[in-house]
Amino acid sequence: MAKISIKLTGIKELQQSIEKRKDLTPVKMIVAKHGALLKEKTISNMGATYTAGHSTGATARSVTNTIGGGGLSATVAPHTEYFPYLEYGTRFMSPRPTLKPAFAYESVKFVNDLQKLMK
């Protein structure tokens, strides 16, 4: 199964400033909040996108949100073997992206919340 990895870049100064802070509790709260929101948005997108008659909801039920890195990272991922085919398509099927649009939507709000901490 192909691994899907999405990395948020371009906020190096923000990351350095956050690392200098002694109390990371607010950052951990923001990570947890947006990890949960990303999971919800992904599942919502799946409900709207996977509307074909053969859809069983297995992929939406397989989505997990794992907090790691001492509370500083959240991993949201579906765990069906065929999810990459749904997200990226095949030569026989057009892509039906759900995770990438959810990430694009939620990452903007996540970065905004982190920037509010700096003020």
Q: In the predicted model, is pLDDT for residue 106 greater than 90?
A: yes
Q: Which of 70, 45, 69, 72 is nearest to 59 (CA)?
A: 45
Query: Within a domain: residue 79?
Result: yes
What predicted TM-score, i.e. pTM, was given to this entire model? Answer: 0.80
Residue 2 domain flag: no
Query: Which amino acid appears at position 35 of this protein?
Result: G
In a domain, 111, yes or no: yes
- For residue range 9-23, list pLDDT tens digits in order: 656 777 777 676 667
Query: Is it the case that residue 1 has pLDDT exceeding 60?
Result: no
pLDDT digits (tens, 9 = 90+) for 35-94: 999 999 999 999 999 988 778 899 999 999 999 988 999 999 999 999 999 999 999 999
* Domains held by the chain: number: 1
